[in-house]
Chain A
Amino acid sequence: MIRRGCVYFLAIAAGFVLQAGTALAHPHVWVKVASEIVYNEDGSIEGIRHAWTFDDMFSTYSLQGIHTKIDGVYTREELAPLAQTNISSLKDTDYFTFAEADGKEQKLADPIDYYFEYNNEALVLHFVLPLKTPFKPRQLMLEIFDPDYFIQFSLQEKEPIKLVGAPAACTMTIQSPTDEESTEKLRGQNSSGDANNSFGAAFADKIKVDCP
């Protein structure tokens, strides 16, 4: 009987822990990523050009109450205020874009050339993230994810990442974590508090570009 009492206690404790682990960690928004890594003439990376397609539910939600000249047709101009608000709130989350050059984290500047496009009942957010200082790494690591996992980013099936103007010798590999790897990563997480240790990071695809 005593043992049973303790078991119940532990069950509650476990319940709280389980709750903690999943706190806010279930995606409500889905984004299909298509991005370009843009190089300049001397082979350094200048920036990253994103085209993110939002899921239909979130797209509809975002378009709620936006008036247009023609019903169901949203021009770039009509969507400009929406793009502005989205881009400014993305700043708080570092645009969900994490770049590492030869193991060193790279700083991204404020986005340029941003706009929304409405295609097949989905919103596509276009924007360019210039690097604070263009660099020429032997290896670039790029990850796009929401640490809180409120938004689930996944790479689009066909040619999700393009290298634009990259030196011919550069090769790209994309690694998607398996369920086991994600679980493993969640298990090994510590409380260092950086994005790499977040819930969302465990599910992120790793884009690697090697330029020997």
Chain B
Amino acid sequence: MRLPSFKTILTVSAILLTAAAIDSLTHVLMAQNPFGGSSRSALEPQLSGVVGWLLRKQSAFYREISSTIRAAKTDGSAVWSLLAISFLYGIFHAAGPGHGKAVISSYLIANGETARRGIILSFVSAFLQSLVAVIIVGVGAWLLNVTAKSMCGAERVVEIASYGFIAIFGARLAWTKGWPLIHALRVSRASTVTPTPAFAYASLEGDAAADHGQTYSRFRSHAAMPRNEGRLQEQIHRLTRDPPHIHDEHCGHSHGPQPGDLAGPGGWQRGIGAILTVGVRPCSGALLVLVFALAQGLFWAGIAATFVMGLGTAITVATIAILSVYAKTTAVRLMTRRNAGSALLSRGLEFAAASLVLLFGVGLLFGYVAAERVTCF
């Protein structure tokens, strides 16, 4: 009887994950308010060492950026060091603050996306983020020569819009994922009372549907299947004859992530929401670097540094994205092997991740409206 203890461990982990996520949300919320103070109590002792180290590295690289831009005015080769430093800064910066990782990871978990898609999303959104920074400074400072105050105003508008995007995106995701969760709950409750093959089939099917990143409407058609008596008999027959993993063409499953899926119909549109929500908000550090480079007469070097920084950021975000996708699929696969009720776990995780995106969006939006950043004077 190892099953209950395994379940317990998973439940505890899931609770921990949710608690930590809520905690990180409150941090973001609190941090927006200059004197809200923040409960950093969640910092584990062994983690604060890492945090301190990350902070020092980031500060060091960031400080180096301004001195190398200065050096590049007289010595062209300094541009290479500028790019190298910007790249490292991007890697370290993304390992620290920012909601981008949280949104991308949560989206990937919620939508049952592949790691490969996670990588692409990370890179495209980081590229967009750099591009937005370059556009704001390029138009604001270079073309129109407005003050930092007005540029900050533009940044603020973009920022609020981006938080709004996250909230809307999260709400849509939570709505899409809420129904399958309700179904899974019903199925699991029913199956504990009368564990008939029909229910077992439904939950297995449901699980497979979500694993392949399909949407609610598709899922619903699966869930509705058992109600169709004739078809149900056929399916039960098929189920008893074949292993449950084999589907007919009605199911329309593409098994496993095919590389072609990414570029295929509907492939890009699916991720565009995630790209926009994360990528539209520029990093204030990039804006500072760009304006500084412009003032030194080396705008192009600032632009190059910004994109290289984005590349570094993308690498870190992609790593975290892969980790979360792998963690989810591994956990769900392990559960599937032991217990058909894992559909519930899968649906639950997806819904939790979707809600997290929504919470992040709402939280950022509120926190932002409540307080003003000091750099944005």
Tell me how many residues of B have a C-beta within 8 Å of chain A: 86
Contacts of A118 in B (CB 8 A): none
Smallest CB separation, B66 vs chain A (Å):
4
Q: Contact check, A17 vs B24: say whether CB atoms are below 8 A apart.
A: yes
- Is there a chain A Cβ closer than 8 Å to B193's Cβ? no
Does B327 lie within 8 Å of A19, measured CB to CB?
no
Assess the A193–B16 pair: CB atoms within 8 A. no
Residues on B with C-beta less than 8 A from A183 are 48-49, 52
User: A27 → chain B, closest Cβ, in Å?
Assistant: 6
Q: Is the CB of B102 within 8 A of A24?
A: no
List, in ascending order, chain B residues with CB within 8 A of A198's CB. Answer: 37-38, 40
A137 to chain B, nearest CB (A): 23
Known: A14-B44, A28-B62, A28-B375. 20 other contacts (CB 8 A): A2-B6, A6-B13, A6-B331, A16-B21, A21-B40, A22-B54, A23-B97, A24-B28, A24-B31, A25-B96, A26-B93, A29-B375, A57-B292, A65-B145, A89-B372, A93-B35, A94-B35, A146-B374, A147-B35, A148-B34
Total CB contacts across the A-B interface at under 8 A = 239
B67: nearest residue on chain A (CB-CB)?
A56
Contacts of B36 in A (CB 8 A): 193
Q: Does A13 contact B (CB under 8 A)?
A: yes
CB pair A4–B27 under 8 Å, yes or no, is no
Shortest 4 CB-CB distances between A and B: which pairs?
A: A191-B39, A20-B24, A8-B327, A65-B147
Instruction: Tell me if A's interface is mostly helix, strand, loop or mixed.
Output: helix
Instruction: Say yes or no: B43 contacts A26, CB within 8 Å.
Output: no
Contacts of B2 in A (CB 8 A): 2
* A186: Cβ under 8 A from any B Cβ: yes
> What would 16 A/B residue contacts be, using CB atoms closer than 8 Å?
A2-B334, A9-B331, A12-B323, A19-B98, A24-B31, A26-B96, A60-B296, A85-B149, A151-B375, A183-B49, A186-B48, A186-B52, A191-B37, A195-B37, A197-B40, A198-B38
Q: Is the CB of A26 within 8 A of B59?
A: yes
Interface residues of chain B, those whose CB is within 8 Å of chain A, are 2, 6, 9-10, 13-14, 16-17, 20-21, 23-24, 27-28, 30-32, 34-45, 47-52, 54-55, 58-59, 62-63, 65-66, 70, 93, 95-98, 101-102, 105, 141, 145-151, 284-285, 287-289, 291-292, 294-296, 320, 323-324, 326-327, 330-331, 334-335, 371-377
User: What does the 1/0 interface line of A96-115 toward B look like (CB < 8 Å)?
Assistant: 00000000000000000000
The answer to whether B291 touches A60 (Cβ under 8 A) is yes
A12-B327 in contact (CB<8A): yes
How many chain A residues touch the partner (CB < 8 A)?
70
Task: Write out the residue numbers on chain B whose beta carbons fall within 8 Å of the beta carbon of A94.
Answer: 35
- Contact among A8, A27, A90, A191 for B326, CB-based, below 8 A: A8
B63 near A30 (CB under 8 angstroms)?
yes
Minimum Cβ distance to chain B for residue A72 (Å): 10
A212 at the interface (CB under 8 A from B): no
Cβ contact of B327, chosen from A9, A30, A190, cutoff 8 A: A9
State how many angstroms separate the Cβ of B161 from the closest Cβ of chain A: 19
Check A4/B93 contact, CB under 8 A, given A12-B324, A26-B58: no
Interface residues of A in 173-212 (CB under 8 A from B): 179, 182-183, 186-187, 189-195, 197-199
CB-CB nearest in chain A for B106? A16
